[in-house]
């Protein structure tokens, strides 16, 4: 994994990180106050965004990463996701660091396997960005499509 300043991101990734930060503003987080935004860069250059959507029955809510990836998969099913940026804010301030939950890591892995291409993951903090070159690197000893192929 690589760590850099937000300002050091290349021209392709700067708008993606900015879109994730902006997406935190559309979060519905009345219970936790933890507003998460995500932005997916598709192979055709399009950016798709999403935010976390909470529910009083906590398991019924959905994380920003899954909202974004499911939306991209539905709207653009044949266009691979190349990168996903994630940002979070609380009390109107961007947090120092953010990392996807286990369920989101699993969905990221499935997205990689669906398209047969790595998905770069940007964890956007207030000043720094941690870049994982693939979703699989965030989920060691992962369970994925290859594990199911032998059981069909």
* Active-site residue identified among 8, 43, 54, 65: 65
- Answer for the pair 135, 100: CB distance below 8 angstroms, yes or no: no
**Neighbouring C-alpha atoms within 13 Å toward the C-beta of 141:** 0
Q: Where are the alpha helices (DSSP H) in the chain?
A: 14-23, 64-75, 102-115, 145-149
- Answer for the pair 51, 24: CB distance below 8 angstroms, yes or no: yes
Nearest CA to 83 out of 37, 36, 117 is that of 117
Q: CA–CA separation, 138 vs 102, rounded Å?
A: 9
What dihedral do alpha carbons 44, 10, 63, 132 form, nearest 10°? 100
The reply to whether 112 belongs to the active site is: no
Q: Which residues are catalytic?
A: 65
């Amino acid at each position: 994994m690589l760590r850099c300043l937000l300002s050091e991101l290349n021209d392709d990734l700067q708008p993606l990180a900015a879109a994730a930060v902006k997406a935190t503003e559309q979060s519905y987080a009345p219970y936790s106050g933890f507003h998460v935004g995500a932005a997916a860069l598709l192979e055709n250059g399009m950016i798709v965004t999403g935010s976390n959507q909470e529910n009083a029955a906590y398991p019924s809510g959905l994380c920003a990463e899954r909202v974004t990836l499911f939306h991209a998969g539905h709207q653009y099913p044949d266009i691979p996701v190349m990168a996903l940026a994630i940002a979070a804010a609380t009390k109107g301030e961007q947090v120092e660091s953010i990392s996807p939950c286990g369920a989101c890591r699993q969905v990221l892995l499935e997205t990689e396997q669906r398209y047969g291409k790595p998905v770069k993951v940007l964890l956007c903090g207030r000043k720094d960005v941690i870049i994982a070159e693939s979703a699989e690197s965030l989920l060691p000893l992962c369970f994925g499509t290859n594990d199911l192929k032998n059981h069909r």
